[in-house]
Structure 1
Amino acid sequence: MVIPPSRTRQTLLEICVDDAEGVAAVAAAGGDRIELCGALALGGLTPSAALVARAVGSGVPVHAMVRPRDGDFRYDASDIALATDEIGRLVAQGVAGVVVGAMADEHRLDLDILARWRDVAKDVAIILHRAIDLVDDPVAAVEAVAALGYDHILTSGGAPTAEEGATVIAEMVRAADGRLAIIAGSGVSADNVGRLIAATGVNAVHASASARSPWGDSRIEAMGFAGGPRRRTDPARISALRQAIERN
């Protein structure tokens, strides 16, 4: 059974979704914010205009992914122009924030592009996504991102999961010193969220709260489409996360 959300809370729960069903699940089960993406199976791309409209209409604050293609985060001029246009369109649609990331090479953020996108998104929050987990020193990168005027950083502390990266996340929280919010994400569940909050001091966590769909169609893969069972947002998992956070 899904427990109705409490509105008195300290740690914000953000749920990433990529379809209308997920949007409805977050609204019903107590998520505080939606990170809206297209194609989470590819790591999240810019969502469609119709999905953005559905999410904004849900009443839950929406942070929309801006990622014009899959693959790495080293963007050429056409990628940058497209992402810049996407930011403007998302802001016009009423999102509360946009989620971006760009790398100069395999180990450094592209601060020039990130600064440009901060200017374009001046009327909404701007979030650096887990591209920061690819840099050599995520803690040192916090200072540069804060100086650009970013509002949030989503991170697993440079590790595959936030629980594994908890020590680094705690250092990032200290480096941020209240200038921006550090959001712990990757592998966050009801089983570990309490320990994660206690270990890191974050005031926001990010999770998919999803379960693998029991069905798939082998013909889809055989025809060259992305196939296999999808993951679907699970309201019960959102509710369990909400309860675990409130027990912390």
Structure 2
Amino acid sequence: MTAMPRPLLEICVDDADGVAAAVAGGADRIELCGALGLGGLTPSAALVARAVRSGLPVHAMVRPREGDFRYDADEVAMATDEIRRLIAMGVAGVVVGAMADDRSLDLDVLAAWRDAADGVAIVLHRAVDLVADPVAAVHAVAAIGYDHILTSGGEATAQAGAETIAAMVAAADGRLAVIAGSGVSADNAAALVARTGVDAVHASASVRQDWGDPRIAAMGFGGGDRRRTSPEKIAALRQAIGRK
């Protein structure tokens, strides 16, 4: 019997230390963002250049602002420009999402971004977890040529959404790769992969650190503790999913 391929390990980072940690810990791919504390925004050009130089494939977030994913024409145009700029900088893929209303994807915008991202991979991010039927969304997104979907199965964590994620993998039927993300750690990754059959797992693999100065939070310069990517947590995740 042919062994099932091991899922890839994607680590999301938002700073240069995170890029270095992803390399040191043995990540297979980087999802590069700005402001992970806000769910990820478009990263800076300098950070993109640093990540591309790391040698790992880089999927860069394209998200012009925090909050919902219902974008006006100016925001869509700006995101389209960001896609083209990121491709010119050498990213292997871009990560996007757009909603038409509170419960459905904006397939017209997503198709336009697929066209703009010609030549690189395109990923639908966790906006899919807000739709009424994530499984039906897989069929729609595969039909317009998306390569990956990052999802927690419509729940706060991938563990809680594992049943839906498994259904999404079945719906994909090899047309695109399903990535499980949110709350993924070395403690639960193997069981999650076994339950869902996902192609990749996605994690921050981070540790919390105090800023060391109470004024940082009080003045609005940072929210909560600092989160730093841990090479050790990445290595543990890699071992948990069987990537030697």
TM-score by length of 1: 0.94
Please give the alpha-carbon distance, in whole angstroms, between the structure 1 residues aligned to 2:191 and 2:160: 11
- Counterpart AA for 1:189: S
Q: Provide Cα deviations, 1:58-115, integer angstroms capped at 9, x if missing partner.
A: 0000000000111110001111111011000000000000000000010000000000
Please give the alpha-carbon distance, in whole angstroms, between the structure 2 residues aligned to 1:135 and 1:215: 36
* Cα 1:36/1:247, change in 2 over 3 Å: closer
What is the aligned counterpart of 1:218 among 207, 214, 219? 214
Please give the alpha-carbon distance, in whole angstroms, between the structure 2 residues aligned to 1:225 and 1:10: 40
- Counterpart AA for 2:206: S
1:103 aligns with 2:90: no
1:142 aligns with 2:138: yes
1:11 aligns with 2:7: yes
| Residue 182 (structure 1) aligns with | 178
Shift of 1:186: 0.5
| Residue 236 (structure 2) aligns with | 240
- Counterpart AA for 2:225: P
- Unpaired runs of 5+ in structure 1? 1-8
Shift of 1:225: 2.9
SS in 2 for 1:55: helix
- Unpaired runs of 5+ in structure 2? none
* Cα 1:203/1:224, change in 2 over 3 Å: closer
What is the aligned counterpart of 1:20 among 8, 13, 16? 16
1:36 aligns with 2:11: no
| Residue 195 (structure 2) aligns with | 199
SS in 1 for 2:241: helix
| Residue 4 (structure 1) aligns with | none
Pairing of 1:116-127 with structure 2 (within 5 A): 116-127=112-123
CA contact (8 A) 1:216 1:227 kept: no
CA contact (8 A) 1:216 1:229 kept: no
Shift of 1:229: 1.7
Among all aligned residue pairs of Structure 1 and Structure 2, give the percentage whose two residues are the same amino acid. 75
| Residue 131 (structure 1) aligns with | 127
Q: Provide Cα deviations, 1:224-246, integer angstroms capped at 9, x if missing partner.
A: 33343210001110000011111
CA contact (8 A) 2:83 2:116 kept: yes
Pairing of 1:37-186 with structure 2 (within 5 A): 37-186=33-182
Q: Provide Cα deviations, 1:1-27, integer angstroms capped at 9, x if missing partner.
A: xxxxxxxx6210000000000000011
Please give the alpha-carbon distance, in whole angstroms, between the structure 1 residues aligned to 2:36 and 2:46: 17
RMSD: 1.3
CA contact (8 A) 1:217 1:227 kept: no
* Cα 1:216/1:103, change in 2 over 3 Å: farther
| Residue 6 (structure 1) aligns with | none
Aligned length, in residue pairs: 240
Q: Provide Cα deviations, 1:141-167, integer angstroms capped at 9, x if missing partner.
A: 100000010000000000110011011
Please give the alpha-carbon distance, in whole angstroms, between the structure 2 residues aligned to 1:25 and 1:222: 29
Q: Provide Cα deviations, 1:40-68, integer angstroms capped at 9, x if missing partner.
A: 01110000000000000000000000001
Please give the alpha-carbon distance, in whole angstroms, between the structure 2 residues aligned to 1:247 and 1:194: 11
Shift of 1:247: 7.6
CA contact (8 A) 1:130 1:155 kept: yes
1:228 aligns with 2:224: yes
